[in-house]
Amino acid sequence: MPAGNTKLDKVIVTNLTVLKKKYGSDGSQKVQAAVEELITSDQRRGLVTRLYLLDNTRSMRQVNVRRVMKSADPKQNKDAIDAICRALVPDYLMILGAIDIVPHQDIENPIHSPDDPDRFAFGDLPYACEARYSRRPKDFFGPTRVVGRLPDITGAKDPQYLINLINFAAKYKNMDASAYRSDFGISAEIWRGSSRSSVTNIFGDGADLKTVPPSTDKWPSAFLGRLAHFINCHGAPHDSRFFGQPAGCAQDFPVALDAGYLNRKVAEGTVVAAECCYGAQLFDPALNQGKSGISNTYLANKSYGFFGSTTIAYGPKNGNDSADLICQYFLQRVLRGASLGRAALEARQEFVHTASMSSPENVKTIAQYNLYGDPSLTPIKPRHVMEALPKGISAKAAADLRVARAERRRDLFGRGIALAKSQPIIEKFTGKVASSIWSALGEKAAKHGMTLGRTLTFDVKRPPASKSMPLGLFAKEVFPNRVYVIFHSPEVIQGKTTSKRKLAEAESSKVPALVQIAALIVKEANGTIVSAKKTFSK
């Protein structure tokens, strides 16, 4: 606990050694000065905020843990942040900097294979969990902490981008709920049905959803200026664009959103949820002809928050699952008045509670989605606006807010711990599968227009809390004991289409390859195939 036993509401963590290496002593001092302004601004909002330097002996001695010696080491960073959170129990944890300052955690991707090349589902989820460092995703099904990352640009040399983001956070203002009722929703045409369901679930009406095609990436300001953005398109690694796809066509990917076009057209206060593969990848622009990614571009244009995936994400053509659900939950919570960080935590908890965590693609989903933005920002004005004074809210109003917030945090903590204990666990199965099951899998694949290609097999284990649960919940007839992931051979499409002319154009313009992955998730219970669902890479 800090001096005077004052409860900290918000902790900011960063690595000063790396900041100095990136921006020099002068640049790092300017960043720290901006952080001090943010701390002062937080105080006017009723938040007690403190900066902790993960690489600084004096800072880390306060929480009885060794400083981070290797800035790129996920374990050292996880251990240090865990110590801070356990000692100080902040209501908000803000990671300051991109992945070259404080790394994402390296959670293993359960469906890593030649079909899904992501070895890890990189993300900040473990920083939000009580479990100690691990690469096993099963250890992080119970998030309890409100966490967000305010990222600079990976590989940057000029600190101004990061300083601007800190200044935006210090000067932010929340708005009436009506400001977020009109949405900018776009989708690949092939996912129109799924996206319309998502937009309807979030905003109450999906009639205004736009698809690419027939729409193009040149969006009018009337759409881009809306404050709630929902995007269900394709993404590619190290790319500053999202792509559409015509219904019924597997080989055409027109550009749906371009970071360069977004610039200076997005309204201050925008909140984004993007289902797209690699939509929240924090890459060095040097890997993309000097162009920043879409998440960095949104933030540069004073967006308050961006929620997206660092790696390949999944979802169905129709109906909702995986990426659809976690993005819905995030925006729904924002629209109900939650802070960005609480919206992300509640979305993660609701996803674990609602989605089937015995499905391997859902295990990847919970690991790969992250919030970029100051987690304490609350876009929508509370229903009962607190008494305002020239120097901020009154002491009584601040005390009321802290008590209410603490009650919510206790509830969320308890829910996270319960979720961690109650979810089934999947493990790779390397034994022999019965011939009758292989035959049934082949038939099921054929019904979904697939052949029985490369298949991953998982055993499903009872959750840790199963010993205290009724045995009937785990009867052989109702508890899936095995899960199969059948991959359809992926088609690598360069640019927009596989035609020779378009391929040549793509090569000349350095358009990246998009990989179309289709997978069938099949569950077995007591020797019988009981369900199958088809999912696609975003």
* Mean pLDDT of the residues in the chain: 91
Q: Is the pLDDT of residue 270 over 80?
A: yes
Indicate if 383 and 429 belong to the same structural domain: no
Mean pLDDT of 359-368: 97
Indicate if 382 and 430 belong to the same structural domain: no
Please report the pLDDT score of residue 477 as a whole number. 82
Residue 293 — pLDDT band, cuts 50, 70, 90? very high
Indicate if 373 and 486 belong to the same structural domain: no
Whether 406 is covered by a domain: the verdict is: no
CATH number at residue 186: 3.40.50.1460
Angle of helix 192-203 relative to helix 323-335, nearest 10 degrees, comes to 20
Contact between residue 367 and residue 140 where contact means Cβ atoms under 8 Å apart: yes
Indicate if 387 and 446 belong to the same structural domain: no
Whether 281 is covered by a domain: the verdict is: yes
Q: Which of 172-176, 204-208, 498-502 has the lowest mean pLDDT?
A: 498-502
Residue 512 — pLDDT band, cuts 50, 70, 90? low
Please report the pLDDT score of residue 415 as a whole number. 97
CA quadruple 247, 253, 257, 261: dihedral positive or negative? negative
Indicate if 233 and 364 belong to the same structural domain: yes
Contact between residue 538 and residue 324 where contact means Cβ atoms under 8 Å apart: no
Q: Is the pLDDT of residue 236 over 80?
A: yes
Q: Is the pLDDT of residue 243 over 90?
A: yes
Please report the pLDDT score of residue 159 as a whole number. 98
Contact between residue 195 and residue 238 where contact means Cβ atoms under 8 Å apart: no
Contact between residue 293 and residue 252 where contact means Cβ atoms under 8 Å apart: no
> What are 371-390's pLDDT values in tens digits?
999 999 999 998 655 545 55
Indicate if 371 and 451 belong to the same structural domain: no
Which of 4-8, 251-255, 336-340, 474-478 tops mean pLDDT? 336-340
Q: Which of 51-60, 354-363, 463-472, 495-504 has the lowest mean pLDDT?
A: 495-504
Residue type, 535: T
Residue type, 350: E
Report H helices in 321-478: 323-335, 340-354, 360-368, 395-422, 435-447
Whether 76 is covered by a domain: the verdict is: no
Q: Is the pLDDT of residue 500 over 50?
A: no
Neighbouring residues of 507: CB distance < 8 A, sequence distance ≥ 6: 494
**315/323 Cα distance (integer angstroms):** 6
Please report the pLDDT score of residue 70 as a whole number. 97
Mean pLDDT of 78-97: 97
> What are 124-178's pLDDT values in tens digits?
999 999 999 999 999 999 999 999 999 999 999 999 999 999 999 999 999 999 9
Whether 20 is covered by a domain: the verdict is: no
Q: What angle do CA 5, 414, 274 make, to 5 degrees?
A: 100
Q: Is the pLDDT of residue 215 over 70?
A: yes
SS3 state at 261: helix
Domain count, the chain: 2
Residue 128 structure tokens: 């939000």
**12/136 Cα distance (integer angstroms):** 26
Whether 133 is covered by a domain: the verdict is: no
Q: Is the pLDDT of residue 508 over 80?
A: no
Q: Is the pLDDT of residue 461 over 90?
A: yes
Domain range for 288 = 173-392
Indicate if 202 and 264 belong to the same structural domain: yes
Indicate if 239 and 337 belong to the same structural domain: yes
Indicate if 369 and 446 belong to the same structural domain: no
DSSP string, 208-220: T-EEETTS-S---
Which residues share a beta bridge with 149? 95, 372
Residue 249 — pLDDT band, cuts 50, 70, 90? confident
Please report the pLDDT score of residue 504 as a whole number. 40
Mean pLDDT of 287-293: 95
SS3 state at 244: coil
Whether 512 is covered by a domain: the verdict is: yes
Please report the pLDDT score of residue 156 as a whole number. 96
Indicate if 217 and 279 belong to the same structural domain: yes
**55/35 Cα distance (integer angstroms):** 17
Please report the pLDDT score of residue 494 as a whole number. 41
The DSSP 8-state label assigned to residue 334 in this structure reads H
Who wins on pLDDT, 492 or 524?
524
Indicate if 299 and 209 belong to the same structural domain: yes
Mean pLDDT of 14-37: 98
Please report the pLDDT score of residue 465 as a whole number. 87
Whether 486 is covered by a domain: the verdict is: yes
Residue type, 341: G
Indicate if 286 and 334 belong to the same structural domain: yes
Q: Is the pLDDT of residue 366 over 60?
A: yes
Whether 69 is covered by a domain: the verdict is: no
Q: Percent of the chain beyond pLDDT 90?
A: 81
Residue ending a domain, among 392, 413, 435, is: 392
CA quadruple 115, 119, 124, 127: dihedral positive or negative? positive
**pTM as predicted:** 0.93
Please report the pLDDT score of residue 160 as a whole number. 98
